[in-house]
Structure 1
Amino acid sequence: MAGETANNNEIVIPSLTRVWLAVVGTAAPADATVAMPAGWRAVGLTTEDSLKFNNEPNFETVRSAQSSYPTRTFQTQDASTIEVDLQQWSGENFRAVYGGGQIDTVTAADNKKHYKFTPPRIGSRTEIAACIEVIDGGKNYRYMVPRSMQMEGVNTELAKTKEAVLPLRLAVQGGDDSDAWYVITNDPSFAPAPAAPPAAA
């Protein structure tokens, strides 16, 4: 079987990326370019080099006396994460970064509206759906994550010489009844290869 030919059209340069969040169970987009359905919220501006989608499967090996190499390898776990640093401070972005929480209006001495953010208590973190949108010219890709949860600590640097960002770190959640994550795209290079014709009798 011949290998793939060199094709620079299959190089992806993410000229534009967006991150969307929604309540778990919100309808996902049907394709890679349709407007995001109601209920999805863009997180806004993010730093230009922080967005990452990581996949880290774990394996165990079986070793035997008859071989210096493993005689069988099997996968025991799968893990995927989303990393991105948010530049826009808002109540909803705080809730996403801290895994939930509550925002209340408080009475202020200056008679103006003030707001109080309270992070979630232990055991009350909420799951969230996520979408990473990647655009390279006419090619669109959407990483869809039906369920994820913020499971890392939050370290916000408050330095005078640069913007303070909110580190969003989401761990993909899964189950046997649905896909933990998937990619939907209009990139023609993803088209399945045509089936081989049946061999002559």
Structure 2
Amino acid sequence: MAGETANSNEIVVPSLTRVWLAQVGTTAPADATSAMPADWHAVGLTTEDSLKFNQEPSFEQVRSAQSSYPTRTFQTQDAATIEVDLQQWSGTNFVAVYGGGEITEVTAKDSKTHYRFTPPRIGSRSEIAGCIEVIDGGKSYRFVVPRSMQMEGVNTELAKAKEAVLPLRLAVQGGDDTDAWYVITNDPSFAPIAGPPPAHD
């Protein structure tokens, strides 16, 4: 059939995902498959069904007496978030999940080194860069977020019968000097379509 676009090769099943974090300003990966730059660290194991990238624009509508439908719709805000539940407890993961904080060494009575995590005080939360890596066979996708911030409360269930996870919830931050987020991929279906650009009003 002319114009048929059904193509099962364009279905994506995320067989492997990774979440990487880095300080804001760290060099981002240049492509979809090369090794991540050394200053990025992976959060490690995550639950198999928790990883989500949400994009949530906001709109306003103009209504007129001459139409039962909006006569104009315009976007007023944009927002995006990363959600994932971390299975590995570590100092770097605690700092990411709680939006900052400080880890110090404490000498215990047994003369062994213990560690103390102190969450950030009001006004001292830090931003962080993020990258979601999605792999489906030979296709790779990287969702790169140059700036984000943990802006939700942390609810960690400490139940006896299952692992205790750390809920990482990052809100994408924007700016005039960089893209708020973008995707890099080697998927050939993303190749630009040849031809004239679409017409605009």
Residue 109 of structure 1: how far off its partner (Å): 0.3
Matched residue SS, 1:69: coil
Match of 1:92 in 2: 92
Residue 19 of structure 1: how far off its partner (Å): 0.1
CA distance in 2, matches of 1:89, 1:19: 15
Residue 3 of structure 1: how far off its partner (Å): 4.3
Q: Which amino acid aligns with 1:43?
A: V
CA distance in 1, matches of 2:82, 2:4: 30
TM-score by length of 2: 0.95
Q: How does 1:21-170 map to 2 (within 5 A)?
A: 21-170=21-170
Match of 1:199 in 2: none
Residue 178 of structure 1: how far off its partner (Å): 1.2
- For this pair of structures, how many residues does the alignment match? 195
Unaligned runs of 5+ in 2: 197-201
Q: In angstroms, what is the RMSD of aligned CA positions?
A: 0.9
Match of 1:187 in 2: 187
Matched residue SS, 2:96: helix
Matched residue SS, 1:175: coil
Q: Which amino acid aligns with 2:193?
A: A
CA distance in 1, matches of 2:155, 2:37: 32
Identity %: 84
Matched residue SS, 1:66: coil
CA distance in 2, matches of 1:74, 1:175: 20
Q: Which amino acid aligns with 1:49?
A: D
Residue 177 of structure 1: how far off its partner (Å): 1.9
Distance 1:93 1:72, change over 3 A: same
Distance 1:62 1:190, change over 3 A: same
